[in-house]
């Protein structure tokens, strides 16, 4: 029977230590002289609740050293062009973890080794960092939050950040839920400590609201801990596609009747679910044709970042007509048109705003190429085109430049991605 520990505490450090003790202590997982790899959720520089609390990472690292670990490594491959080196710097993780003796690794620059997957859904081989595969102990430290593409971002979703860019993009295009089960076949954590003390609801990961839960979770079965976490958030785990798929493939135990809860009684909440596409508003009029999940996800990130950083500035502006996918249906346009993704760009070449010179002069048109256009540097083109009307675009572009500086990102149309 799978065990999930629930530990309340006056602060997240106490709750983390208590959760691990409920599983017998860190010594049950880490031995003297071993190398330990810690994989937190550091996909964005936004901080809590989008990312794992640095105090939890540091607490676990110290506990590993206390029982004689030779080396503790922390690494992640952040989202869409964000540099992990810069992320460590902006969040203060580099100074804090280096003071403890932790080794920080930029996973996007790591050597990846292929692991074959039997009866795969998306990835016939899962490419994993050598530093993870060569470690003696693999500890996952996910957050508890909602996500626009996978519904929830818990321990299974946290494995997504181990992939190289080409496989990262492939999951966005070909199926995040199915791809997550392939990763779980290739690698499972030895221990999971879920950063649950402050959860995130709404448009994860870039536009979340915090919910104070005041407990942390721990376990060894990713499906079991994700099922319990999803229930605590107010969701039916059997309706979360990747949890259900993993359960059906016997990759773990998602049956609440076969999961033993130890420690404190959980509190239950009603987390607001993320939506894949934003609703039409004064700012955005959205017209979607036949569209893959990659473009939908990329556009959601684009709109969330606009809302997070530019919402007030854009409310007084004329708004945007946004076209996605093949042959989007649209009868009227706002003064500004954004054509998002290669499919939309190709299929709208014969639309009136493109073929009628008078109309074309009247509108301000921005094409955002890519299949899908995941790279956050897409804001640079928009900033150039609209900075005279909306100077705040330069502000968000400057933020993103700092996030992505020094990071080279694979073109999403690379042949390895199958585009």
- 288 with 405, same domain: the answer is yes
Query: How far is CA 398 from its chain centroid?
Result: 22
Same domain, 179 and 321: no
Whether residue 134 lies inside any domain: the answer is yes
Close Cβ partners of 123 (under 8 Å, ≥ 6 residues apart): 117, 167, 170, 171, 179, 182, 183, 186
Given the DSSP bridges, would you call strands 35-40 and 137-141 parallel, antiparallel or unpaired?
Answer: parallel
Q: 392 vs 137, which has greater pLDDT?
A: 137
* Residue 159: count of CB within 10 angstroms of its CB: 24
303 and 219 inside one domain: no
Cβ contacts of residue 372 below 8 Å, gap of 6+? 169, 172, 173, 292, 294, 295, 297, 298, 341, 412
Residue 276 lies in a domain: no
Please tell me the predicted confidence (pLDDT) of residue 315: 66
CA 70 from chain centre, in angstroms, equals 30
The two beta strands, 35-40 and 71-76, are parallel
348 touches 339 (CB < 8 A): yes
Q: Which of 111-115, 125-129, 275-279, 370-374 has the lowest mean pLDDT?
A: 370-374
- pLDDT higher at 231 or 320: 231
Q: What's the sign of the alpha-carbon dihedral 288, 292, 295, 297?
A: positive
pLDDT digits (tens, 9 = 90+) for 70-119: 999 999 999 888 999 999 998 899 999 999 999 999 999 999 999 999 99
Burial 225-262 (b: 16+ CB within 10 A, else e): bbbbbbebbebebeebbbbbbbbeeebbbbeeeebebe
pLDDT band at residue 416, thresholds of 50, 70 and 90? very low
Residue 419 has a pLDDT of 37
Strand runs (DSSP E) across 15-148, as ranges? 35-40, 71-76, 103-106, 112-116, 125-129, 137-141, 143-147
For residues 337 and 368, the answer to whether their CB atoms sit within 8 Å is no
Which of 214, 232, 263 terminates a domain? The answer is 263
- Full 3-state SS string of 227-293: HHHHHHCCCCHHHCHHHHHHHHCCCCCCCHHHEEEEECCCCCCCCCCCCCCCCCCCCEEEEECECCH
Q: Is residue 152 part of a domain?
A: yes
Q: pLDDT value at position 209?
A: 95
What crossing angle do the helices spanning 392-404 and 84-91 adopt, rounded to 10°?
Answer: 110
- Given a cut of 90, whether residue 194 has pLDDT beyond it is yes
The structural domain count of the chain equals 2
Residue 270 in domain:
no
pLDDT reported for residue 23: 98
pLDDT for the residue 340: 93
pLDDT greater than 90 at residue 24? yes
**102 belongs to a structural domain:** yes
Question: Whole-model pTM?
Answer: 0.93
According to DSSP, the β-strands at 336-340 and 320-324 are: parallel
Confidence (pLDDT) at 410: 62
Q: Is 116 exposed, middle or buried (0-12, 13-18, 19+ CB in 10 A)?
A: exposed
Asked whether residue 29 falls in the same domain as residue 146, the answer is yes
**How far apart are the C-alpha atoms of 192 and 104, rounded to whole Å?**
19
Q: Which residue has the higher pLDDT, 393 or 73?
A: 73
Question: Same domain for 208 and 303?
Answer: no
**Of 66-75, 208-217, 260-269, 289-298, which range is least confident?**
289-298
H or E element, residue 342: helix 342-347
pLDDT digits (tens, 9 = 90+) for 108-130: 999 999 999 999 999 999 999 99
> Which of 136-145, 251-260, 281-290 is modeled with the greatest confidence?
136-145
- Would you state the pLDDT for residue 411? 58
Q: Residue 418 — very low, low, confident or very high, per pLDDT cuts 50/70/90? A: very low
Q: Are residues 288 and 228 in the same domain?
A: no
352 in the same domain as 251 = no
Residue 16 in contact with residue 193, Cβ under 8 Å?
yes
Domain with 66 in it? 2-263
All residues at 6 or more sequence positions from 388 whose CB lies less than 8 Å from its CB, including other chains: none
Computed on alpha carbons and rounded to an integer, the radius of gyration of the chain in Å comes to: 22
| Cα–Cα distance measured from residue 251 to residue 228, given in angstroms and rounded to the nearest whole number | 16
Classify residue 97: in a domain, yes or no: yes
The owner of tokens 């860190």 is: 26
Separation of alpha carbons 56 and 162, rounded Å = 19
- Of 234, 263, 292, the residue at which a domain comes to its end is 263
Is the pLDDT at 341 greater than 90, yes or no? yes
Q: Are residues 128 and 258 in the same domain?
A: yes
Task: Determine, yes or no, domain membership for 184.
Answer: yes
Could you give the percent of the chain with pLDDT greater than 70? 96
How open is the CA angle 173-353-275, to the nearest 5 degrees? 35
- Over residues 350-365, the mean pLDDT reads 85
pLDDT tens-digit series, residues 137-180: 999 999 999 999 999 999 999 999 999 988 988 888 888 999 99
Same domain membership, residue 387 and residue 239: no
Same domain, 230 and 324: no
What residue has token string 């854009």? 314
State whether 258 and 289 are in the same domain.
no
Q: What is the mean pLDDT of the chain?
A: 91
pLDDT of res. 85:
94
Q: Rounded mean pLDDT of 264-293?
A: 90
In a domain, 259, yes or no: yes
205/289 same-domain check: no
Which band of pLDDT confidence, cut at 50, 70 and 90, is reported for residue 26? Answer: very high
Predicted local distance difference test score (pLDDT) of residue 414: 47
pLDDT for 191: 98
């Amino acid at each position: 029977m799978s065990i999930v520990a629930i530990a309340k505490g006056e602060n997240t450090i106490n709750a983390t230590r208590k959760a691990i003790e409920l599983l017998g202590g860190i010594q049950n997982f880490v031995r003297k002289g071993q190398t330990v790899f810690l994989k937190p959720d550091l996909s964005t520089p936004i901080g809590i609740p989008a990312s794992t609390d640095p105090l939890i990472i540091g607490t676990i690292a110290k506990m590993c050293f206390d029982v004689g670990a030779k080396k503790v490594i922390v690494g992640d491959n952040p989202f869409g062009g964000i540099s992990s080196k810069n992320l460590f710097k902006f969040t203060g993780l580099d100074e804090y973890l280096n003071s403890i003796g932790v080794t920080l690794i930029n996973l996007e620059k790591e050597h990846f080794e292929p692991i074959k997957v039997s009866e795969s859904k998306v990835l016939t081989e899962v490419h994993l960092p050598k530093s993870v595969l060569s470690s003696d102990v693999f500890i996952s430290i996910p957050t508890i939050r909602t996500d626009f593409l996978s519904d929830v971002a818990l321990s299974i979703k946290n494995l997504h950040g181990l992939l190289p860019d080409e496989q990262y993009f492939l999951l966005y295009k070909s199926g995040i839920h199915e791809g997550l089960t392939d990763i779980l076949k290739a690698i499972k954590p030895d221990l999971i400590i879920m950063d649950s003390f402050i959860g995130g609801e709404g448009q994860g990961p870039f536009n979340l609201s915090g919910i104070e839960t005041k407990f942390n979770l721990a376990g060894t079965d990713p499906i079991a801990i994700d099922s319990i976490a999803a229930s605590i958030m107010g969701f039916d785990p059997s309706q979360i596609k990747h949890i259900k798929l993993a359960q059906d493939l016997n990759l773990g135990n998602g049956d609440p009747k076969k999961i033993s809860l130890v420690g404190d009684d959980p509190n239950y909440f009603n987390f607001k679910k993320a939506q894949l596409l934003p609703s039409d508003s004064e700012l955005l009029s959205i017209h979607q044709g036949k569209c893959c999940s990659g473009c939908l996800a990329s556009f959601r990130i684009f709109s969330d970042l606009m809302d997070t950083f530019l919402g007030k500035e854009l409310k007084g502006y004329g708004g945007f007509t946004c076209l996605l996918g093949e042959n989007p249906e649209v009868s009227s346009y706002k003064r500004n048109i954004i054509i998002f993704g290669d499919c939309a760009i190709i299929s709208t070449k014969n639309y009136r705003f493109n073929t009628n010179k008078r109309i074309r002069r009247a509108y301000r048109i921005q094409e955002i190429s890519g299949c899908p256009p995941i790279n956050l540097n897409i804001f640079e083109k928009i900033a150039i085109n609209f900075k005279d009307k909306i100077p705040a675009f330069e502000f968000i572009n400057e933020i993103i430049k700092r996030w992505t500086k020094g990071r080279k990102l694979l073109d999403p149309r690379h042949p390895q991605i199958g585009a």
